[in-house]
Amino acid sequence: MLTSYYRAYKADLESLREQQQNREPLPKSNRKASVAPRGLKTNEAAAYLGVSPWKLRNLVQSGDISYIAGNGTSPWLFDKQELDHWVETRKQRL
């Protein structure tokens, strides 16, 4: 009796292996590749601006840069477009 269960088990495993090998790969979603996140976490925004996270926090506390209240994973999120605007307003020429 155990041999018949074992044979059925082996046949099921073989069937599953064949199904897995013959399965076509799922198409990759283009959504993540084409849509860049607009809101950056503190460390990402600091790296984007080329400053330390502490410098970015000081800029927020002084009112130079505004933030978006985060969803729990990060207390602050920063808008990429606003960070770009902040950089543009601080450009200087000789």
Condensed to tens digits (0 to 9), the pLDDT of residues 69-91 reads 877 766 889 999 999 999 998 88
Give me 54's structure tokens: 């502490």
Give me 15's structure tokens: 């069937």
Determine if the pTM surpasses 0.75.
no
* DSSP 8-state secondary structure symbol assigned to residue 75: S
Class of domain 37-89: mainly alpha
Q: How far is CA 80 from CA 2, 60, 76, in A?
A: 64, 14, 13
Give me 79's structure tokens: 């808008």
pLDDT of 61 reads 93
7/59: higher pLDDT: 59
Give me 39's structure tokens: 């809101």
pLDDT of 1 reads 64
Condensed to tens digits (0 to 9), the pLDDT of residues 13-24 reads 888 888 777 777
